Amino acid sequence: MATTTDLISKINEKYGKMSKGQKLLSNYIIDNYDKAVFLTAAKLGDIIGVSESTVVRFASFIGYKGYPEFQQALEDMVRSKLNSSEKVEITNGGLEQNGVIKEVLTSDALKIKNTMESIDEAAFYNAVEALLKARRIYVVGIRTCAPLASFLSFYLNMIFDNVVNLQTSSTSELFEQMIHISDKDCIIGISFPRYSMRTLKALEFANNRQAHVITITDSIHSPMNLYSSCNLIAESDMHSVVDSLVAPLSVINALIVELCNRRQADVAKTLEMVENVWTDYQFYENDEIDLVDDSIKMAYPGEF
pLDDT in tens, 14-28: 888 889 899 889 888
C-alpha 161/C-alpha 210 separation (Å) is 22
- Domain membership of residue 31 (yes or no) is yes
Report the pLDDT value the prediction gives residue 158, as an integer from 0 to 100.
85
Neighbours of 176 (CB within 10 A): 11
Angle at 134 between CA 128 and CA 135, to 5 degrees: 155
- The 3-state DSSP class for residue 239 equals strand
In this structure, the answer to whether residues 249 and 129 fall within a common structural domain is: yes
Res 87 pLDDT > 70: no
In this structure, the answer to whether residues 128 and 214 fall within a common structural domain is: yes
Q: How many CA atoms lie within 13 A of 227 on its CB side?
A: 22
In this structure, the answer to whether residues 71 and 10 fall within a common structural domain is: yes
In this structure, the answer to whether residues 51 and 172 fall within a common structural domain is: no
Residue 187, strand partner residues? 138, 213
Asked if residue 136 lies in contact with residue 160, where contact means CB atoms within 8 angstroms, the answer is no
In this structure, the answer to whether residues 124 and 257 fall within a common structural domain is: yes
C-alpha 32/C-alpha 185 separation (Å) is 49
- Domain stops at, among 80, 108, 132: 80
Query: How many structural domains is the chain composed of?
Result: 3
For the domain that residue 21 is a member of, what is the CATH number? 1.10.10.10
Give the H or E element holding residue 13: helix 4-15
pTM of the model: 0.64
Report the pLDDT value the prediction gives residue 280, as an integer from 0 to 100.
60
Res 90 pLDDT > 50: no
Where is average pLDDT lowest: 91-105, 123-137, 163-177, 186-200?
Answer: 91-105
User: Average of pLDDT values for 169-189?
Assistant: 87
Burial of 78 (0-12, 13-18, 19+ CB in 10 A): buried
In this structure, the answer to whether residues 209 and 252 fall within a common structural domain is: yes
Measure Cα distances from 134 to 161, 182, 221 in Å. Answer: 11, 10, 27
In this structure, the answer to whether residues 171 and 253 fall within a common structural domain is: yes
For the domain that residue 202 is a member of, what is the CATH number? 3.40.50.10490
In this structure, the answer to whether residues 123 and 257 fall within a common structural domain is: yes
The verdict on whether omega for the bond into residue 194 sits within 30 degrees of 0, i.e. cis, is: yes
Domain hosting 287: range is: 266-296
Give the H or E element holding residue 234: none
In this structure, the answer to whether residues 170 and 271 fall within a common structural domain is: no
Res 85 pLDDT > 60: no
- Domain membership of residue 91 (yes or no) is no
Report the pLDDT value the prediction gives residue 181, as an integer from 0 to 100.
93
Report the pLDDT value the prediction gives residue 242, as an integer from 0 to 100.
64
In this structure, the answer to whether residues 122 and 256 fall within a common structural domain is: yes
C-alpha 196/C-alpha 219 separation (Å) is 15
Smallest CA-to-CA distance from 255 within 151, 110, 165 is with 151
Q: What does the pLDDT look like over 66-84, one tens digit per residue?
A: 898 888 888 777 766 544 4
In this structure, the answer to whether residues 20 and 55 fall within a common structural domain is: yes
- Which stretches of 84-170 are DSSP H helices? 84-91, 100-118, 121-133, 146-159
C-alpha 291/C-alpha 243 separation (Å) is 37
